[in-house]
Amino acid sequence: MSPRRSRHGSRRRPVFSRHRARLTRRRLLLLAGGAVLLLAALALAGYLYERHRTGSVYHPHARFVPEQTPTAPPKQPEDRFSWPIYGYDKDHTRFFPASSALRPPFKEVWQHGGNALLEFPPVIYGPRIFQLADDGLLTALNRHTGKVLWQHRIGLLSASSPAVTANTVYATVLSSGHPRVPGRIVALNSATGQIRWFRSLPSPSESSPLIDHGHIFFGSQSGLVYAVDDSNGHVIWTYRADGAVKASPTLSGGLLYFGDYSGHVQAVSEQTGRLVWRSSSEGALLGSGTFYSTAAVFYGRVFLGNTDGRIYAYDASTGHLDWAVQTGAYVYASPAVTNAPGIGPTVYLGSYNGTFYALNARSGHVSWSFDAHGRISGSATIVGNIVYFADLGQHRTYGLGISTGKRVFEKGTGSFDPVISDGRDIYLTGYSGLFDLTPR
């Protein structure tokens, strides 16, 4: 015989189950509400911490070294003028002291079109101008006529400016096409485009080469910074940073300055690669901000931007932080620096928030700003009393008065680093074309 079942047992259990289910749901709702409140509290705490940690910092009594504004280079024969490296000079102030006659309005002399993105500006030596496109095609043009003299594909992908001497042009490669040695530095005959030598690198490089006294300095994505012999590519020394070094090293007073993707800025000996100092960005909450920006060294300070949204100034001798100004968006741009009439020593660069800033080099305070209404990723160049920059968001190039921020030039092309000059014309790098512009 089967066991007898309680008359009401089968009905009581569902009632109890429903009651327990309601209690469980209430507990879950309370737990969910508590979790939401906890997450909100954590988010608020994180925001406040992040805002405090990456906010603006000012040290008004930090050391500041007055320096004379560079003057126009001595007049050279036409076939010996050079804009030899990215940023014009080795301290990367990106200032070219041109005559006041070199100013808008301009007329177009020639243009050279291409199919690939032009992320970085060209360089000049004598009658030749050398442009490296993102598809790895290096082109030599006659700078007076725009005629193509030669072209050589040095890799599959590049994102840097070349460097040039009287007879050789040097360029770095992001992708060589070889899976085991993706990076490369190449030296070519500047007159013919024939390869003199090349060195394969175990990691890609998008660091624009710097040349000094027979040595070439550049970084790589593995964090290795190289010093190589410019005649044969033999490695003289290497320095290992904690993160990728994508910027061009900056040279001042025998020291090379550069930031890396671990959020550190360092100064190393030009001769030996020995570390002199290293400083942190104290960047983003979940890790340090990254330094893509190429440093400018002037007034005894190292100026550069960071993806944590700040523009930094460090003491060039010690690495101590002098000031940091928060823009609210990535700062990939490299600064341009000069002594502007009426407002004094000034640092110029743009932010991904679409604003272009003129900052007092001593204090970090904003002297003036200009709203470009789009992301600014590339770096500015000062030619005479005009600072030029491009807007990646709107694909436009602007020229502003360095003392006032007043717009004096605008052209509907350009995305990154727009302008170099030979003192007579300006050469504007558009999205995929190069333009020669001369005053009307």
Q: Is residue 435 part of a domain?
A: yes
Q: Domain limits at 164?
A: 73-439
CATH number of the structural domain spanning residue 144 = 2.130.10.10
Q: Is residue 13 part of a domain?
A: no
Q: Is residue 80 part of a domain?
A: yes
**Whole-structure pTM value:** 0.86
Q: Is residue 84 part of a domain?
A: yes
Q: Are 124 and 83 within 8 A, CB to CB? A: yes
Q: Is residue 127 part of a domain?
A: yes
The pLDDT, as a whole number, for residue 73 is: 67
Q: Is residue 216 part of a domain?
A: yes
Domains: count for the chain = 1
Q: Is residue 44 part of a domain?
A: no
Radius of gyration, CA atoms only, the chain: 27
Q: Is residue 120 part of a domain?
A: yes
Q: How far apart are CA 129 and CA 1, in angstroms?
A: 105
pLDDT in tens, the chain (440 residues): 444 444 444 444 455 555 565 656 666 666 666 666 666 655 554 444 444 556 888 787 788 887 877 776 666 666 679 999 999 999 999 999 999 899 999 999 999 988 899 999 999 999 999 999 999 999 999 999 999 999 999 999 999 999 999 999 999 999 999 989 999 999 999 999 999 999 999 999 999 999 999 999 999 999 999 999 999 999 999 999 999 999 999 999 999 999 999 999 999 999 999 999 999 876 554 456 899 999 999 999 999 999 999 999 999 999 999 999 999 999 999 999 999 999 999 999 999 999 999 999 999 999 999 999 889 999 999 999 999 999 988 899 999 999 999 999 999 988 898 999 999 999 999 999 999 999 98
The pLDDT, as a whole number, for residue 2 is: 44
